[in-house]
Amino acid sequence: MSTESIPKPTDEQPVFELPPDSVGMVETQTVTLFESSEKLRLASGRELGPITVAYETYGSLNSDRNNAVFVCHALTGDAHAAGWHSGEDRKPGWWDAFIGPGKMLDTDRYFVICANVLGGCMGTTGPGCLNPETGERYSSDFPVITIEDIVDVHAALVTHLGIDRLLAVVGGSLGGMQVLEWAARYPDRLNAAVVLASAAHLSAQGIAFNTVGRRAIVSDPEFHSGRYTPEEGPRYGLAVARMLAHITYLSEASIEMKFGRRLQHSDKLAYDLGKETEFQIESYLHYQGERFVERFDANSYLYLTKAMDYFNLADRHGSLEAALGNTDARFLVVSYTTDWLFPTDQSRELVSALLKARRHVSFIELSSPYGHDAFLIENEPLERLVQPFLDQTYQSFLNSDR
Amino acid sequence: MSSQRYCMPDPMLGLNDKLIRDQIRPGSRVVDLGCGDGRLLAMLRDEHGCSVQGVELDQESIEAAISRGVAVIRADLDRGLDDIPSQSFDVAVLSQTLQQVRQPKAVLEEMYRIARWTLVVVPNFAHWRVRWQALSRGRAPVTSELPYEWYNTPNLHVMSMTDFRDLANVVKFRIDKEIPIIRRRAVRHAWAANLRAESALYVLERTE
């Protein structure tokens, strides 16, 4: 088995000087798992395979193979968590501020893995991929997937990379749900779980927002029951879904701070319904919607939001305590004061269950104006918690006989 | 003025740590309320085989506790400990903090709820020097660290050993031990303890 532990260097030189704490130029890799005889059995009962997984790694796996940290991305993220794909990139990977030499996930010490999720559209098998049995895109024939299925695929990837037990699984939002699922499903395969701005289930309010987003997509005339062509598709519906979702990631304070009631192009009201981007916040949401349509597939959005809605750890195991009581992993749970999509009370529920199960749990609600998105933005306070937490986990792991 | 006032033992100095440890059975599951940087808990874990949990409000202290590998959750004692399930600990510790919370009785009731044993170290404001200070100088009994005056002291409540004993009874605790601390030493059988002790360590047991 080959373990491609070091990101392959690419020929392209960046047009700027790479900062010293960057992981540098990286390339997304793919591997095909669950081929022919060993298909993945999904939570729905259906089988799926083969499954291609897109992933990136940063840093190197040590000889004991015990320094691997798996990063789970949120709803619309991808495997590109850190570094640059080419010199033309406008931005580095989505968690670049946290992954690199000397950073929170220190690539001088840890081997960091991030993979795109099952059902996604960024290189891992999803509704936009060709079904090998029919030679056509899966589209709406793609089976309904759950967080369990997503984590099963990632666990298979970790096995493929030759890693038995992860030092930590880290993730925020939908990524945090995956972290919890890892702990429940593979209790012996992780030493630490870092759960950021997340919960053991999505609130009814969260499901409500997802429902409206999905409705916007399926009611777009270009949706065609999911059998749209890659070039066409329900662009407007998807953009609306993204605009709506984006509001839930912000907070009243952050919108007020960033946009207020300021106008985009004028200092006077236009009294014209045709001007859809008159206020700065309008313009911003339109921009977010448009950018999103360029990079994301509508069917993936439907499948992944549904997986998020279905996730309910307590329900599946009888109680949260039962779900999380089988692992001896250390937990770090972080919530944010202005996050109303995954409010602190949901993190507290997790903490209570972990205390009941007598697990090692640290919890803090961080103060931030940035709402749900805070875990992607507020580096410093998070770093000051996660760095010592991982360091201590690593030390005690090295000192133990495992 | 303040420099002439009597100073209570600094809660951060850890003079009480060993006294507290001696009252805890090895291997117990211990929660420390207001655990600070987790020093006491790290000692209980490393030297006493305890499984430990901290509760702390201050963010920097939480970071320090995590740096010691101590599990710690952020909570404000004044807002209750709803996140902590009932009877989830063998021992709950509260060292030199009770006089600083708004509702000492509510905090003791929470400790009663979450642990079988409760260990509390409380300052004794009936110490003769405090009494002397109030009598001779006519000053409010401001103790603890030097820079505080009556209007900015963290000590919201002043109590004596006798007062604390009453409160423990009100909360339905059985007082297993009352150990006066005189000149930084635990004295099991001190005469006139309420006059001579700077603080006291109580070992309380849930009666239900």
Is the separation of the CB atoms in A355 and A362 below 8 Å? no
Distance CA A247, CA A282 (A): 11
Residues B106/B82, Cβ–Cβ less than 8 Å = no
Q: Which of A137-141, A270-274, B152-156 has the lowest mean pLDDT?
A: B152-156
Which residues of chain B make contact with A320, given a CB cutoff of 8 A? none
Of A365, A381, A392, the CB nearest to B66: A392
User: Any residues with CB less than 8 A from the CB of A293 and at least 6 apart, and which?
Assistant: A235, A238, A239, A242
Reading the block at residue A95, the tokens are: 């968690």
For residue A14, say if its preceding peptide bond is cis, omega within 30 degrees of 0.
Answer: no
Residue the block writes with tokens 């970790």 = A158
Taking residues B21-35, report their average pLDDT: 96
pLDDT at A361: 98
Tell me the two tokens of residue B174: 């059985």
User: Hey, are the CB atoms on B72 and A330 less than 8 Å from each other?
Assistant: no
List the structure tokens of B143: 């103790």
Q: Does position B187 have pLDDT exceeding 90, yes or no?
A: no
Distance of CA A101 to the CA centre of its chain: 22
Token output for A64: 């004991």
**Choice among A335, A339, A368, A373 that is catalytic:** A339
**Which residue bears the tokens 């390339």?**
A27
What pLDDT does residue B141 have?
A: 65
**Over pLDDT 90: what percentage of chain A?**
88
Task: Read off the pLDDT band of B145 (50, 70, 90).
Answer: very low
For the beta carbon of residue A305, count every other beta carbon within 10 angstroms: 24
Give the strand pairing for A47-48 and B185-186: unpaired
Q: How close does chain B come to A361, measured CA to CA in Å?
A: 5
B83 to A348: CB separation less than 8 angstroms, yes or no? yes
Beta strand spans in B96-187 (E): 115-123, 174-182, 185-186
pLDDT above 90 (res A12): no
Alpha helices (H) in A171-203, listed in sequence order: 174-185
Q: What is the mean pLDDT of residues A202-216?
A: 98
Comparing alpha-carbon positions, the chain A residue that sits nearest to B54 is A362
| Rounded Cα–Cα distance for residues B106 and A110 (Å) | 45
Give residue for tokens 């000889």: A63
Out of A356, A360, A384, name the one closest to residue B63 (CB): A384
ipTM of the complex: 0.90
Cα dihedral B126, B128, B129, B132, rounded to 10, equals 100
A389/B68 touch (CB, cutoff 8 Å), yes or no: no
* Residue A17, pLDDT score: 80
Q: Which range among A185-189, A330-334, B112-116, B191-195 shows the weakest confidence by mean pLDDT?
A: B191-195
Among residues A22, A78, A96, A173, which one is catalytic? A173
Kindly report which listed range (A57-61, A209-213, B1-5, B103-107) carries the lowest average pLDDT score. Answer: B1-5
Mean pLDDT of chain A: 94
- A41 has a pLDDT exceeding 60: yes
In angstroms, the Cα distances linking B192 to B127, B189, B195 are 10, 9, 5
pLDDT in tens, A64-123: 999 999 999 999 999 999 999 998 888 999 999 999 999 999 999 999 999 999 999 999
Torsion angle defined by CA atoms of residues A259, A265, A271 and A276, in that order, rounded to the nearest 10 degrees: -70
What is the distance between the terminal CA atoms of chain A, rounded to a whole angstrom?
23
Q: Which residue among B29, B59, B69 sits closest to A392, beta carbon to beta carbon? A: B69
Residue scoring higher pLDDT (A378 or B124) = A378
CA distance A230 to chain B (A): 48
CA distance B133 to chain A (A): 42
State whether B73 and A351 contact (CB < 8 Å). Answer: yes
**Chain B hits for A388, Cβ within 8 Å:** 63, 66-67
CA–CA separation, A166 and A237 (whole Å): 39
| Range in A10-24, A337-351, B45-59, B152-166 the model is least confident about | A10-24
In chain A, whose CA is at the least distance from the CA of B52?
Answer: A360
Cβ contacts (< 8 Å) between B69 and chain A: which residues?
A: 392-393, 395-396
CB spacing of A385 vs B74 below 8 angstroms: no
With cut-offs at 50, 70 and 90, classify the pLDDT of residue A37.
confident
Contacts with B74 from chain A: Cβ below 8 Å: 363-365
B62 and A362 within 8 Å at the Cβ level: the answer is yes
Beta bridge partners of A33: A51
DSSP states along A29-61: EEEEES-GGGPEEPTTS-EE--EEEEEEEES--
Average pLDDT (B49-56) is 97
pLDDT at residue A7, rounded to an integer: 53
Q: Inter-chain contact A381–B67, Cβ cutoff 8 Å?
A: no
Would you call A173 a catalytic residue per the annotation?
Answer: yes
Q: Is the pLDDT of residue A281 over 90?
A: yes
Put simply, the answer to whether B53 touches A355 (Cβ < 8 Å) is yes
For A130-174, the pLDDT digits (tens) are 999 999 999 999 999 999 999 999 999 999 999 999 999 999 999
**Min Cα separation A363/chain B (Å):** 4
Q: Which residues does residue B52 pair with via DSSP β-bridges, in sequence order?
A: B30
Instruction: Give the pLDDT confidence score for residue A13 in this predicted structure.
Output: 57
Which amino acid is located at A195 in the chain?
A: V
Nearest by Cα to B17 from B174, B164, B184, B183: B184
